[in-house]
Structure 1
Amino acid sequence: MTIHFQESEQRFHLQSKDTSYMIQLVHGYPAHVYWGPKLSEDGNLTDILMFQERCSFSPNPVPEDKSISLDTLPQEYPQYGTSDFRHPAYQVQLEDGSRITELTYRSHRIVNGKPALEGLPAIYTENEDEAQTLELELFDAYSGLTVILSYTVFEYFDAMTRSVRFVNEGKQALRLNRALSASVDFFDSDYDCLYLSGTWTRERHVQRKPLSPGAVRVESRRGSSSHQMNPFMALLRPAADEDQGEVFGFSLVYSGNFAAEAEVDQFGMTRVSMGINPFDFGWLLEPGESFQTPEAVMVYSSEGLGGMSRTYHRLYRTRLCRGAHRDKERPILVNNWEATYFDFNADKIEAIAKDAAELGIELFVLDDGWFGKRDSDTSSLGDWTVDRNKLPDGLEDLAARVKSHGMEFGLWVEPEMVSPDSDLYRRHPDWCLHVPHRRRTEARNQLILDLSREDVRTYLFEALSGIFSTVPVSYVKWDMNRNMTEIGSAELAAARQTETAHRYMLGLYELMDKLVTRFPHILFESCSGGGGRFDPGMLYYMPQTWTSDDTDAVERLKIQYGTSMVYPVSSMGAHVSAVPNHQVGRITPLTTRGDVAMSGNFGYELDLTKLPAEEKDIIKQQVALYKENRRLIQNGDLYRLKSPFSGNETAWMLVSEDRREAMVFYFQVLGVPNGPLRRLRLKGLQTELDYRVSGFEDRYRGDRLMQIGLPIPPLDGDYKSVWFKLTAVNEWRQEVE
């Protein structure tokens, strides 16, 4: 991990674990030179960039060198209006109405470690030796705009983070209309683009398509990262697959409106850009003020998508997630939502908790309906006081009753919302996002509180702190069940209304940071109608996310597989629910539901009191199995073996860091009459070790398991699954002797 500056060549060479990234100053413009496998600094790195004069439609900003055009130069942070006609990374409007700025190099500094981003979640380091950071300062002399490009490379990861800070050093106000976090120009377009798309209950399905002239754009305009698109994009060579080939990943540490784009230009170059969505965004910068963009995390892999994913998993699990729960085993829980919905009382809750405790489950989570007059989704959001009709002795009594059975107590909240039918809304109708004299669009009978306002954040912090301080809560499920409409704030001036959506996110991050700091013992789980805000920004405050409201085992195969492209198993909430499934009506075996859910943070979402004895026995076995292998599942390296997007089979495995243990999960969706004999080729094992495999008498050498495969027993019927535990033993001859 080093950052070199070769002054004679005006070249910066950033080296992470096994990756190089190079920037060269060309007439003061930062040009992109290289990103890929690590290069030696003492090798011949001159004359990598190629220049050629083009026709008059590619203008020349440097009169003495006709081969220079910003329309053809690969750039690090391209600008608008000075001869580059591709999508810019930023755009500024001056007080005279013009939109032209021209940033050129002014200075740089190289520092050990990684500076924090003010008010924003970001990758962190635990000591300065883990990373090195380049801050490249650009300046527009006419406007006084200073832009600082920040690059951090890591000692132990093939990853780099990028962010940008804008500073108005001029005498007049500026308006940012576009402020992306990263832009990279690739020298060709021989790539496929991979991204994750979906909708509520069908999140993060894998999409892959070849690039062609024009643009592939992935974005959210919903005020959150959304169910529909995830703030992630990857370019990969057409022959790249799970295990081999070049992959370049881009992931944004942000939870609001975002945009990621891959644009192929007239000369076959590809520009990838990522950051806050410019749509409906504007930010006023008065003299002396600054603006910080979110952070983009860029990962290079020469080992296909699997290599990229494992880098993101390790980085996000250990240097994005924080706090006491980062490295702890996560508890097995039962949630009452699909068991009772709004219809419950203290006795019913205790009955479920009692049965759960007898099965070995560790945590009970009380979901929606415990506060205000919340008998349906039509009222009471914002009124965070207990409903004494349902719980006459309060949450304290209910928590004590749950804990008397040896279980921890958790609670559902939806702090960002307010019901029009609530005491809070009647007191403060201006506290929601709204535009004066316009109707207020409701969704799920609720509006969104304006978290850009300090008084709103203060109210929520005090209300939630009052609960968490008096009730022995060890887990909080933080939900958010609608997207933004009528985006406006009564607190902001007219010139700053386009700042509302981003100021909301800054306010949300501030509120979350205060709560997780004050209550470090609480495990917070993010939720947004399931996976509507499954993004790196939320993981910085809440180390796990409810993956989807769809708990059907078959649908979850695609959802969890797609989620694993970027996010570690330790971040995925996964529960067993009742059948027929409440979302799709499918009936799947309890064993299959358990095997799918055990591939994440394990739990149950059903009424345990209604289950027959034989199903309770199965659950008891599942709970014991998960406890035995929890650390391996939550922290192991994930290898995807068979894709649910490609056929009738799905398989993945988790391997310990020393590669001496592994858990393998195999799923068959539909039964196959007179089917073929199957072997499953494994990955990530030690080639020279012998492994004992559960269910088999023989031991298998690692190279055999990976090159020939593990025999899969016949699975009769639909929706079947099987798991295998692998444990390394001494080489066979040594053990015989």
Structure 2
Amino acid sequence: MIQYDAERRTLTLHTRSTSYQMKIDATGVLLHTYYGEKLRKGDLSRLICPEDRGFSPNPDEVGLDRTWSLDTQPQEYSSSGVGDFRQPALEADLADGSHIVDLRYVGHTVADGKYALEGLPAFYDEGVAAQTLTVELRDKCSGLTVELLYGVLEEYDMITRAVRVRNDGAAPVQLTRVASACLDFFTGDWDFITLGGAYAREREPVRTTLTQGVHTVGSVRGSSSHQQNPFLVLCDRDATEDTGCCWAMALVYSGNFQATVEHTQFHETRMTMGIHPFHFCWRLEPGESFTAPEAAMVFSRQGLGHMSRMFHRAIRLNLCRGPWKDARRPILINNWEATLFDFDADKIYSIAQAASKVGVEMMVMDDGWFGQRNDDFGGLGDWNVNQEKLPGGLAPLAERIKGLGMKFGIWVEPEMVNENSDLYRAHPDWAFQAPGRPVTRGRYQLVLDLTRAEVRQYILDNLRTMLKSADISYVKWDMNRSLTDVWSAGLPAERQGEVYHRFVLGVYEILEALHQEFPQLLIEGCSGGGGRFDCGMLYYTPQIWCSDNTDAMDRLRIQYGTSYCYPCCTMGAHVSAVPNGLTHRSTPFHTRGVVAAAGTFGYELDLNELSPEELEEVAHQIAAFRNYWDVVMRGDYYRLTDPFRHECFCAWMHVSPDRTRAVVSVVQTQRHANPVRPLLRMKGLDPDKDYLVEGKVYGGDELMYAGLALPFLDECQAVQYQIKEV
């Protein structure tokens, strides 16, 4: 998978269908020469055309040769201050006050297996062939050494990258930018796609034609955010779901990030991704090192759909961990939208009792079970059970629910604290707040300083006590505000630039401890819905609440955009009551079920308030999902329409890996007078097989190339087809 040609000084990484090449040039600069369709052989540095470019300076070692400049060379990992005026991957303030870093090749090693990152999430190689390439670069003047790590996951056509920076010099160094990946291209006639949005409108695909300049997305909120997502695609301008070249990059990180695409004066392109340099400054003493998070890359020449399916398989099988990564999750019911804070043990039990009769398998008790938590204003941080609501604690309620044949789950928000709490009154310095300044609140709460070991220990001790006090199978881990007043009483002034990143490392440390101590526990990530939906969290929480917006029609767009990178088995999706609390829209119960079944599937309402007909529909939905869950969770996902562009209906399908079964879902989004007969062409089937659809037999080629005529539906109505090979 990894080849070194000593004569040509090229390093080439091969996956099943792609190749990635770099070259050590005569000056020791590591050049990037190719990433794309798999090649048999060749030195692609021949594509670099030396040219005397005005205002592109030349390093000393090339003498009077004005055709060689770092400003025009495609680099594997760019730095600053040495003549490359494009976006740098690495910046540092050195002890002498300069910021010049000149990285040159020192050596490389190849090892079987995939590297791991201490304290950081990363893809792993269980069950798949993998190799690791480590390339060492060094700035000889400062002693700053950079290790470029490459993981090759052959089966998924995925190459991962990470960076370790080590101070081998005699004086401290301040790192001010450490990107995880830098990718240079010779051309730039492309589009780029990002996932934008807002709270309750997460991960909306934004496609932009690449023009000269630096195009940047990112987050400085302390989390990956509702507004942007650490995922980026560069693609042919005519790329579709099924055709065209696509280069995609996802950051395995849950904090501040920045992704950039720069189109240069020479129509070349540079793509970088990593920790956002906003308020980032990491001090390295001599001998110390810093590890940047992992970035995962996929290339597809078969369009955006194939690109997504590569990410889906790798994330599901080699990023998510534990017994739940590839298993059906319990069909659950959550009480939040049914009760808000107004509940007690009997109310929770009554919801569970009704749910158990129609096949729901887990009861999740949401916010309000602890401390003096009767509203948003108080209680966060006090993880002792509210005895007025739950006499005797969690165990009696858990046992009552267990007696119904159901599992029991619970909601927590461990990273936050209310000022009206015993914790804050005892330890006000445990929250982020700068000395002498008033605090900034979000949802009436402050953020605990997870950079401090005693704060992390307090959280972990409380979570352990809670989990050991009752039979708890599931935890919904929420985070309901962005980070402000970011200053830690536990760090000196010169290290305050480390706080954002250390906070994320603290979250990971707690989650990893829970993963090790409670391996059977299913944790669902959440941040006001989808505000921290990223590959980093999926390493610890194999599913994430996709959005607080449970309106079925809005979820069509949210789940569509999320699928660009993330598999359906990671998307927390529930059927909720109508009118919807955010949109005030009413949609048919069947439609809500069809949309929620494209994710982990559950309910967010009080079944006691449903009619007999609706309860019958719930039972039918649960039975159907149990029948085809493996196709949805483990199969290949195909976006058949774009809900942001297709005005009449939204359709998607899941196909089993052996192509013997499929589930096709259609929702009518608009209805017009005298409508045109809707026609749906399917994807992913075997053209040589015959399939049973609604009692009729069709060839796979018919269904994909000619299509299936859909029934006329009213707005917001849905139809779902279960397809089987005959």
Query: The TM-score by the shorter chain falls in which range?
Result: over 0.9
> Is the 1:364–1:409 contact (alpha carbons within 8 Å) kept by the matching residues of 2?
yes
Cα distance between partner residues in 2 of 1:452 and 1:17: 41
1:592 aligned counterpart, secondary structure: helix
2:457 aligned counterpart, secondary structure: helix
Cα distance between partner residues in 2 of 1:58 and 1:290: 31
Task: Determine if the alignment matches structure 1 residue 707 to structure 2 residue 688.
Answer: no
Write the letter of the residue equivalent to 2:94.
L
1:164 aligned counterpart, secondary structure: strand
Call closer, same or farther: CA 1:56–1:350 in 2, change over 3 Å: closer
CA positional deviation for 1:57: 4.0
* 1:416-460 deviations in Å (ceiling 9; x for gaps): 001100000011000011211111111111101111110011111
2:560 aligned counterpart, secondary structure: helix
* Map 1:125-144 → 2, pairs under 5 A: 125-126=125-126, 130-144=129-143
* Map 1:82-231 → 2, pairs under 5 A: 82-126=82-126, 130-231=129-230
- 2:70 maps to 70
* 1:209-259 deviations in Å (ceiling 9; x for gaps): 100001211100000000000001100001110001000001000000000
Call closer, same or farther: CA 1:484–1:79 in 2, change over 3 Å: same
Write the letter of the residue equivalent to 2:699.
R
- 2:676 maps to 676
- 1:590 maps to 589
Cα distance between partner residues in 2 of 1:232 and 1:299: 11
Cα distance between partner residues in 2 of 1:44 and 1:427: 65
Write the letter of the residue equivalent to 1:689.
K
In structure 1, the gaps of 5 or more residues are 730-737
CA positional deviation for 1:634: 1.1
Cα distance between partner residues in 2 of 1:674 and 1:687: 33
* 1:364-417 deviations in Å (ceiling 9; x for gaps): 100000000111010010100110111113211111111111110000000000
> Is the 2:125–2:153 contact (alpha carbons within 8 Å) kept by the matching residues of 1?
no
CA positional deviation for 1:66: 2.5
* 1:81-124 deviations in Å (ceiling 9; x for gaps): 10101110010111111111211001111111112101100001
Cα distance between partner residues in 1 of 2:376 and 2:526: 17
TM, length-normalised to structure 1: 0.97
- 1:727 maps to 724
Write the letter of the residue equivalent to 1:364.
M
Cα distance between partner residues in 2 of 1:712 and 1:475: 40
CA positional deviation for 1:339: 0.4
Cα distance between partner residues in 2 of 1:574 and 1:489: 36
> Is the 2:34–2:44 contact (alpha carbons within 8 Å) kept by the matching residues of 1?
no
- 1:441 maps to 440
Write the letter of the residue equivalent to 1:75.
Q
CA positional deviation for 1:155: 2.1
Cα distance between partner residues in 2 of 1:14 and 1:57: 31
> Is the 1:671–1:719 contact (alpha carbons within 8 Å) kept by the matching residues of 2?
no
Write the letter of the residue equivalent to 1:588.
T
> Is the 1:526–1:542 contact (alpha carbons within 8 Å) kept by the matching residues of 2?
yes
Call closer, same or farther: CA 1:654–1:548 in 2, change over 3 Å: same
1:294 aligned counterpart, secondary structure: strand
Write the letter of the residue equivalent to 2:673.
P
1:177 aligned counterpart, secondary structure: strand
1:652 aligned counterpart, secondary structure: strand
- 1:265 maps to 264
1:497 aligned counterpart, secondary structure: helix
Call closer, same or farther: CA 1:46–1:510 in 2, change over 3 Å: closer
- 2:15 maps to 16
Call closer, same or farther: CA 1:470–1:56 in 2, change over 3 Å: closer
CA positional deviation for 1:46: 6.2
Call closer, same or farther: CA 1:313–1:467 in 2, change over 3 Å: same
Write the letter of the residue equivalent to 1:125.
D
2:572 aligned counterpart, secondary structure: strand
Write the letter of the residue equivalent to 2:719.
V
CA positional deviation for 1:60: 4.4
Write the letter of the residue equivalent to 1:725.
Q
> Is the 2:33–2:44 contact (alpha carbons within 8 Å) kept by the matching residues of 1?
no
* Map 1:478-493 → 2, pairs under 5 A: 478-493=477-492
* 1:528-560 deviations in Å (ceiling 9; x for gaps): 000000000000000000000000001000000
- 1:343 maps to 342
> Is the 2:32–2:183 contact (alpha carbons within 8 Å) kept by the matching residues of 1?
yes
Task: Determine if the alignment matches structure 1 residue 622 to structure 2 residue 603.
Answer: no
- 2:321 maps to 322
CA positional deviation for 1:55: 2.1
- 2:560 maps to 561
Cα distance between partner residues in 1 of 2:45 and 2:372: 71
Call closer, same or farther: CA 1:44–1:220 in 2, change over 3 Å: closer
> Is the 1:58–1:72 contact (alpha carbons within 8 Å) kept by the matching residues of 2?
no
CA positional deviation for 1:45: 5.0
- 2:577 maps to 578
Write the letter of the residue equivalent to 1:217.
T
CA positional deviation for 1:514: 0.1
Call closer, same or farther: CA 1:324–1:55 in 2, change over 3 Å: same
* 1:141-168 deviations in Å (ceiling 9; x for gaps): 1111110111111221111001110000
Cα distance between partner residues in 2 of 1:25 and 1:404: 66
* 1:639-697 deviations in Å (ceiling 9; x for gaps): 0100101122211100001000000001111222221112210000011000001x2x3
Write the letter of the residue equivalent to 2:672.
V
- 1:5 maps to 4
Cα distance between partner residues in 1 of 2:404 and 2:411: 20
CA positional deviation for 1:300: 0.2
> Is the 1:60–1:67 contact (alpha carbons within 8 Å) kept by the matching residues of 2?
no
Cα distance between partner residues in 2 of 1:303 and 1:460: 46
2:46 aligned counterpart, secondary structure: coil
* Map 1:375-414 → 2, pairs under 5 A: 375-414=374-413
Write the letter of the residue equivalent to 1:346.
A
Write the letter of the residue equivalent to 1:688.
D
2:350 aligned counterpart, secondary structure: helix
> Is the 1:450–1:504 contact (alpha carbons within 8 Å) kept by the matching residues of 2?
yes
- 2:35 maps to 35
CA positional deviation for 1:477: 0.2
CA positional deviation for 1:64: 5.0
- 1:662 maps to 662
1:642 aligned counterpart, secondary structure: coil
CA positional deviation for 1:59: 3.6
Cα distance between partner residues in 1 of 2:526 and 2:696: 44
Write the letter of the residue equivalent to 2:324.
H
2:601 aligned counterpart, secondary structure: strand
Query: Which segment drifts farther, 437-446 or 217-226?
Result: 437-446
- 2:651 maps to 651
Cα distance between partner residues in 2 of 1:709 and 1:277: 46
1:379 aligned counterpart, secondary structure: coil
Cα distance between partner residues in 2 of 1:434 and 1:250: 35
> Is the 1:60–1:66 contact (alpha carbons within 8 Å) kept by the matching residues of 2?
no
2:156 aligned counterpart, secondary structure: coil
- 1:542 maps to 541
Write the letter of the residue equivalent to 2:697.
R
Write the letter of the residue equivalent to 1:130.
A
- 2:356 maps to 357
* 1:259-282 deviations in Å (ceiling 9; x for gaps): 000011110001000000011100
> Is the 2:200–2:547 contact (alpha carbons within 8 Å) kept by the matching residues of 1?
yes
> Is the 1:23–1:32 contact (alpha carbons within 8 Å) kept by the matching residues of 2?
yes
Percent identity over the alignment is 50
Call closer, same or farther: CA 1:556–1:32 in 2, change over 3 Å: same
2:640 aligned counterpart, secondary structure: strand
Write the letter of the residue equivalent to 2:470.
V
Write the letter of the residue equivalent to 2:708.
L
In structure 2, the gaps of 5 or more residues are none
* 1:303-355 deviations in Å (ceiling 9; x for gaps): 10001000000000000000111121111110000000000111111111011
